[in-house]
Amino acid sequence: MTDSVKRRREEEAADGENGVAVSEQGSDTAPGFPLSEMSVRRVLRESARDKTVFLHGQVPGPIMVNSASGDGTDAVVILEKTPFQEENISELLKKHTKLQLQMTNDIYSTYRLYLPPELNEIKTTVVYPATEKHLQKYLRQEVYLIQETAEDYKNITLPFIQSQSFSIQWVYNILEKKAEADRVVYENPDPANGFILIPDLKWDQKQLDDLYLIAICHCRGIKSLRDLTAEHLPLLRNMAQEGKEAIVKRYGIPGSQLRVYLHYQPSYYHLHVHFTALSYDAPGCSVERAHLLSDVIDNLELDSQYYQKRTLTFALRADEPLLKKCQEAGRV
């Protein structure tokens, strides 16, 4: 671990997690989400490999912005067991509360190791209130590969994007410092060629193994890879170069150990770049979704209209409205 990361950890430990007051034992999520009042309606998805579970929960109470089902308000709760932090392991062995033998055979034995609460946390992500769209997003679905030609983009995908009212208020909140302002790692404030670099929601910043940051450009109206031309090269070069510099400075991870890429399709239509640790098999870094920023820059240098011309391949889930549009047009 780098010294700067260590120092930040110590600072955080001193004033509670990230400077936010930590709730006392017994009272759960203070202030915020009433987890203990939530009933689990169903498991949307789970993964033994990723040690995650996605829950559809319902909270009794007055926030009735949605009426997806029954009474109460829907929520998505994502629970995730996090990677080990190397500097905690000796503490973990020393402070365990119980070591229960499961079986023993020759020189081999297995145990259940029980830990005190503060060494046993679970990363919890909450979407609340959640709409039917949020619930659908996390349901396990079959996926289909689409080969989107330039024509398909013009006739199917673009009209679809424009007809949707995807809320990206959270993106504007970050850009306007109305949310997560204390989490910003780096900013180039230039309105045309600037961006904000910030840890992604998926990363708890406890260990560098699963490092995940996003660079969100200040410029509005660049929806995705499809909109990029040579005109955007200064912005893209800034994101690549200054993003990497900020990450080596803060976390000690050099550009040669980072995977820097865009998604197509993205999950929100405001241009952003993903920075993940190369050794981390990050969700969404597969060949059918990730486009390396260095390749994107090179392609645009070769041909300004590269991404307006090219057929782009991506996967869509069975329930996605865009898939239905592609099916109607006979493109699947």
Shortest CB 268 distance to ligand DD3, Å: 6
Residue among 214 and 240 whose Cβ is closer to ligand DD3: 214
Give the gyration radius of the chain's Cα atoms.
22
Q: List the interface residues with ligand DD3, window 199-258 (CB under 6 A).
A: 199-201, 214
232 is catalytic: no
Residue 234: half-sphere exposure toward Cβ, Cα within 13 Å = 8
Establish if 198 lies at the interface with ligand DD3 (CB under 6 A).
yes
Residue 255: half-sphere exposure toward Cβ, Cα within 13 Å = 12
Per DSSP, which regions of the chain are E strands?
39-47, 52-59, 73-80, 98-105, 108-114, 123-127, 143-148, 186-188, 195-199, 212-217, 258-263, 272-277, 290-292, 312-317
Residues near 211 by Cβ (< 8 Å), separated by ≥ 6? Answer: 203, 247, 251, 253, 258, 275, 276, 277, 280
Find the part of the chain contacting ligand DD3 (CB under 6 A) among 42-50, 64-72, 157-165, 198-206.
198-206
Find the part of the chain contacting ligand DD3 (CB under 6 A) among 44-52, 143-151, 194-202, 234-242.
194-202
Find the part of the chain contacting ligand DD3 (CB under 6 A) among 10-18, 25-33, 192-200, 247-255.
192-200
Residue among 75 and 236 whose Cβ is closer to ligand DD3: 75
Q: Residues 134, 272, 274, 291: which is the catalytic one?
A: 272
Contacts made by residues 19-22, CB under 8 angstroms, sequence distance 24+: 19/182
Find the part of the chain contacting ligand DD3 (CB under 6 A) among 11-19, 60-68, 193-201, 277-285.
193-201
Among 69, 120, 267, 279, binds ligand DD3 (CB under 6 A): 267
Shortest CB 29 distance to ligand DD3, Å: 16
Shortest CB 200 distance to ligand DD3, Å: 4
What is the amino acid identity at position 281?
D
Among 84, 114, 166, 170, binds ligand DD3 (CB under 6 A): 170
Shortest CB 112 distance to ligand DD3, Å: 31
Query: Is residue 246 a contact partner of residue 197, using CB atoms and an 8 Å limit?
Result: yes
Distance between CA atoms of residues 69 and 277, nearest Å: 40
Per-residue string for binding with ligand DD3, 86-125, x by CB under 6 A? ---------------------------------------x
Distance between CA atoms of residues 174 and 197, nearest Å: 10
Give residues in contact with ligand DD3 (CB under 6 A).
125, 127, 170, 180, 198-201, 214, 267-268
Looking at the annotation, which residues are catalytic? 272
